């Protein structure tokens, strides 16, 4: 299948800078990561995103790609893959991991290719599998995101059964080593191919890769080794956290099978809007209405910030939409020290209704001008 344009893959323009490319990559890599996305095409899309980022994040590779397209990346390691079979063997930049994947597609098993020839991969199959990840969302008040807070996230997760400890066996009963695979969890097969004899592995059909056989299953979890339960997890929201950040907590997802490691918990942070302030990165923006007299003659007004109320000097002849800057009065930086800035856009309010006396004064002002 013909490769897609790398800019299209990352959904960025051809003039995108490194920051935009990196941001797009992180978003898509998280979306299609096989550990989190169980769709059948997630892994292929994840690899496609990785390849696009590998080229576009490197100045030399990107320059060659912009000039010659996919053909321009053939001279670089990684992106070009291998050139195929020839009189002298594999041509180009060979990634042996990629070759392993190709042979796995041929034989449907775990095959290992290296400088010493073909053989099986030494993988210990204990039947333990990693638990699934859990994703959730927490809504945080604007000020809580500024100053930090503690939130409790309540969710359902599969945890190890407290009766059997996660092994699925009834209390007091034994767990025997599988006789078919001798506890390895896999069985070996020899296949004759055009490349010669290749030794492959397959999950043991007797113990399903566990390497052990439970004699009597646990009454509480019915041999599964884990149960669903409600969990309250306290989360410290750091100060300065922006909207859209995802926090990861290792091992707080679903428990693994047969005592395998637990998945992770991903919490998306949604910061609620504020009546006055608008946050952009570490900076705070707001609008402030003043009357035409103050804009003309100048004076001093009070301005609220995220921490305190401060005085702002309005100069004579201030025009509507003029922006004033308060250095260091913005949000605390999420990563780093110090604060952002606060920007105030002045809106000069023109009176809609005037008394007769006010009209006379404005007419005198007009005549004087």
Domain residue ranges of the chain, discontinuous segments joined by +: 1-94, 130-167+220-273, 278-368
Asked if pLDDT for residue 28 goes beyond 80, the answer is yes
Q: Identify the pLDDT of residue 225.
A: 79
Q: Identify the pLDDT of residue 290.
A: 94
CATH domain 278-368 topology: HSP40/DNAj peptide-binding domain (2.60.260)
- Do 1-94 and 130-167+220-273 agree at the fold level? no
* The domain made up of 130-167+220-273 is a member of CATH 3.30.360.10: no
Closest Cα to residue 272, out of 126, 89, 138, 132?
A: 138
Asked if pLDDT for residue 25 goes beyond 80, the answer is yes
Q: Identify the pLDDT of residue 183.
A: 77
Most confident of 41-55, 155-169, 190-204: 41-55
Asked if pLDDT for residue 310 goes beyond 60, the answer is yes
pTM of the model: 0.55
Residue 325 pLDDT class (50, 70, 90 cuts): very high
Mean model confidence pLDDT for the chain: 80
Q: Identify the pLDDT of residue 76.
A: 54
Q: Identify the pLDDT of residue 332.
A: 93
Provide the percentage of residues in the chain whose pLDDT is more than 70.
82
Per-residue pLDDT averaged across 194-216, rounded? Answer: 75
> Which long-range contacts link 110-116 to residues 24+ away (Cβ below 8 Å)?
110/200, 110/201, 111/198, 111/200
Asked if pLDDT for residue 109 goes beyond 70, the answer is no
Residue 270, strand partner residues: 139
* The domain made up of 1-94 is a member of CATH 1.10.287.110: yes
């Amino acid at each position: 299948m013909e490769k897609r344009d790398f800019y299209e893959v990352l959904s960025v323009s051809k003039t995108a800078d490194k920051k935009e490319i990196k941001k797009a990559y992180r978003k898509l890599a998280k979306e299609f990561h096989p550990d989190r996305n169980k769709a059948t095409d997630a892994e292929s899309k994840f690899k496609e995103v990785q390849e696009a980022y590998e080229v576009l994040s490197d100045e030399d590779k990107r320059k060659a790609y912009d000039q010659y397209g996919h053909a321009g990346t053939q001279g670089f390691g990684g992106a070009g893959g291998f050139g195929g079979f020839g009189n002298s063997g594999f041509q180009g930049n060979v990634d042996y991991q990629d070759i392993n994947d190709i042979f796995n597609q041929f034989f449907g098993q775990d095959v290992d290719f290296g400088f010493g020839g073909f053989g099986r991969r030494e993988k210990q199959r204990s039947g333990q599998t990693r638990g699934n990840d859990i994703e959730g969302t927490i809504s945080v008040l604007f000020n809580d995101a500024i100053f930090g807070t503690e939130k409790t996230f309540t969710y359902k997760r599969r945890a190890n059964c407290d009766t059997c400890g996660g092994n699925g066996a009834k209390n007091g009963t034994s767990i025997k080593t599988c006789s078919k695979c001798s506890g390895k969890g896999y069985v070996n097969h020899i296949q004759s191919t055009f490349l010669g004899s290749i030794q492959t592995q397959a999950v043991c059909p007797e113990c399903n890769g566990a390497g052990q056989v439970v004699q009597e299953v646990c009454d509480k979890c019915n041999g599964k080794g884990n149960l669903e339960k409600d969990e309250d997890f306290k989360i410290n929201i750091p100060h300065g956290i922006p909207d859209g950040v995802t926090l990861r907590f290792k091992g707080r997802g679903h428990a693994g099978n047969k005592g395998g490691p637990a998945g992770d918990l991903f919490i998306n942070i949604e910061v609620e809007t504020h009546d006055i302030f608008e946050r952009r990165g570490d900076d705070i923006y707001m609008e402030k209405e003043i009357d035409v007299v103050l804009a003309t003659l100048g004076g001093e007004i009070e301005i609220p910030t995220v921490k305190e109320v401060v005085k702002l000097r309005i100069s004579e002849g201030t025009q509507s939409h003029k922006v004033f800057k308060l250095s260091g009065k913005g949000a605390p930086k999420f990563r780093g020290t110090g604060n952002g800035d606060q920007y105030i856009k002045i809106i000069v309010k023109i009176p809609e209704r005037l008394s007769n006396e006010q009209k006379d004064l404005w007419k005198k002002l007009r005549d004087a001008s």
